[in-house]
Structure 1
């Protein structure tokens, strides 16, 4: 079988990617620091390559989240000019960082993956 010349990046221990209800779900795991962000970045870029993509970033399984993770989210949001980026986050320290940096105004977090996947067609979270 002929290859189109485009291969997705290899899987990482910090990320699981799957399709669910028309969305690409990127489930981050563990400590999201500069090393993890370097592993996750190519997957997130692939998921947001189509500016109209519907993407959910699930931070439910994250134990640490630094500025590198914030950069990933900010980049993904700006790549989806006509698409939809939803964020799932319940960890108090991560939520605090998102609030302090103002990212919750751009990507209001959902408390569950199901609520993010079934949200009305808005670009980024609840009203």
Structure 2
């Protein structure tokens, strides 16, 4: 095996080891057709963002609970249209979230609930 090939293999192994050892800064999202509600680990799950992901005339909203008042369901509405998002104010940790689309004359379409660790 020549030295160039050995070097490539060593760098590949090192790269994989670095990726495996890093802790990802990920977000937890609840999604349905047209809406996404998301929180981020890097922000301590203290903010929720509600994205309108579909070019239709329906507004979207997120439903969530905070650690300081776990029995109170809160809502964050985004009525700004496709490609936009609304962000909540800060507070205690968000325990769970789900995304919903407001549908006229029909029940709203909501995702399942996603719980934060």
TM-score calculated relative to the size of structure 2: 0.26
Q: Higher Cα Rg: structure 1 or 2? A: 2
The structure that is strand-richer by fraction is: 2
Q: Which one scores higher on RCO, CA 8 angstroms, separation ≥ 6?
A: 2
TM-score calculated relative to the size of structure 1: 0.25
